[in-house]
Structure 1
Amino acid sequence: MSTVSLSTALSGMSAANERLRASANNIANVATPGYRRERIEAETAADGNGVTTRVEKLPAPGEDLATDIVEQKSATYAYVANLRVLQTQIRAEGALLDIHV
């Protein structure tokens, strides 16, 4: 299994998980006075393989329920897409091992 594609898919899953966590936290705190929404910023990892994330607190309190719900859906799709990459890698490696044994 390619270490690069494995680390890229795993970092993508981790980033999607962070996006899910932040948007869920925003939704859970929608009625909390003074709560500042979180946003996850992702950037390419220093080694060029995958992504790194950081949490950013938005400057002013407020709610944006529609954005948070869309973020939940988008992050879920990103997580599943990266999971499929991992599953494909595992199947491909298994097929190669079957051929060479």
Structure 2
Amino acid sequence: MTDLLKSMAVAASGMAAQGSRLRITTENIANADTPGYRRKLIPFEATEDGGVRAGRVNLDPAEPRKIYDPANPLADADGYYEGSTVDVITEVANAREAQRSYEANLKMFDQARQMTSSLLGLLRQ
């Protein structure tokens, strides 16, 4: 019985971590056109009980791309300003991967819940 409860806890930790990843990804997409915005990255860390948790949010070390627009008020003397480091296609792929991982953890959680329920039903008889 404890193994089933542990598997539910591990699946729940995976869902929480993927939820955090999805939140960071949506923040990145929302700020894709914000000048000077640096993409946020969130690493995962293994826990002692076999689960996973979201680590500390880091900023993308990549250099922002230079955009030529002399009419922009943020432009320097040469007409360039710093864009964001967000690639929308990459972020959409990350969001899709996070969603699928979340769904896989949800299915594992549901399977463990059903097995626990069946076991309790057998013990009542």
Pairwise same-fold verdict (TM > 0.5) = yes
Using the alignment, how far apart are the partners of 1:82 and 1:66 within structure 2?
A: 24
- Structure 1 residue 97: Cα displacement: 1.3
1:43-63 CA-to-partner distances (Å, cap 9, x unmatched) read 211x14111222111123412
The two structures have a TM-score, normalised by structure 2, of 0.74
Structure with greater proportional helix content: 1
Aligned length: 100
Corresponding residue number in structure 2 for 1:22: 24
- Computing the radius of gyration from Cα coordinates, the structure with the larger value is 2
- Cross-structure match for 1:57: 59
State the TM-score, normalized to the length of structure 1.
Answer: 0.90
Paired residues of 1:7 and 1:49 also in contact (CA < 8 A): no
| Structure 2 match to 1:84 | 107
Q: Which residue number in structure 1 is paired with residue 89 of structure 2? A: 66
% identical equivalent positions = 36
Unmatched segments (≥5 aa) in structure 1: none
Distance 2:35 2:96 in 1: 26
Matched residue type, 1:53: A
Q: In the alignment, which residue of structure 1 is the partner of 2:7?
A: 5
- 21-30 or 50-59, which moves further after superposition? 50-59
Distance 1:95 1:3, change over 3 A: closer
